[in-house]
Amino acid sequence: MPRISPWQRPLIAAALVLGLGTAVQAQTSAPLKPKGEGPRLTEAQRQKVFPETRALAAQDHRARIAILQQGERCISAAPNGDGLRTCMRQERDALQNQRQQHRDALRQVFVRNGIPVPDWSQRKGGTSPRPAGGGYGWDRPGQPTQPLPLR
């Protein structure tokens, strides 16, 4: 057996760990469907609900455009940072409400046509990417912020 020098040992150990990890993952992972994905629609079901879902999508786009235009007008008229923060909060809340209304309307279309309703609450698959305890930003004024480094 060839002699292994001290500088080769970490490389060999890393290669073994990577190889074993890949082998274990290949054996234990089964093909899973993505989180929140419900049953697939058949072609007949898709064709049946398409006119209604297309109309709902167009309506949703028009509503979101109106919300964004209102937000733009509000931002342009904001007299200070507090006014800007209020505008942004109102826009965010309006968009969230619109998303919920769109989901509710889609749910009604599926139920009316006897199609299982997808579980949209799990689509994103996890918690918020924001750090825990951040608590500052547009919606939490007065929190300390880190100064930007000077270059």
What would the pLDDT profile of 91-136 be if each residue is shown by its tens digit?
999 999 999 999 999 999 999 988 888 776 665 555 555 555 555 5
In a domain, 72, yes or no: yes
Q: Which of 56, 53, 57 is nearest to 113 (CA)?
A: 53
In a domain, 93, yes or no: yes
Domain ranges, residue 103: 49-112
In a domain, 34, yes or no: no
In a domain, 88, yes or no: yes
pLDDT value, residue 43: 87
How many separate domains does the chain show?
Answer: 1
pLDDT value, residue 37: 56
**pLDDT higher than 60, residue 16:** yes
Residue entry with tokens 């937000």: 71
Residue 124: Cβ-neighbour burial (10 angstroms; 0-12, 13-18, 19+): exposed
Calpha distance 130→114 (Å, rounded):
38
Phi and psi (nearest 5°) for 14? Answer: -65, -40
In a domain, 87, yes or no: yes
Q: Which of 17-21, 26-30, 66-70, 142-146 has the weakest average pLDDT? A: 26-30
Alpha helices in the chain (DSSP H): 9-28, 43-77, 81-112
Helices 81-112 and 43-77 cross at an angle (nearest 10°) of: 160
| Cβ-Cβ contacts under 8 Å for 105 (sequence gap 6 or more) | 56, 59
What is the per-residue pLDDT across 51-71, written as a single tens digit (0 to 9) for each? 999 999 999 999 999 999 999
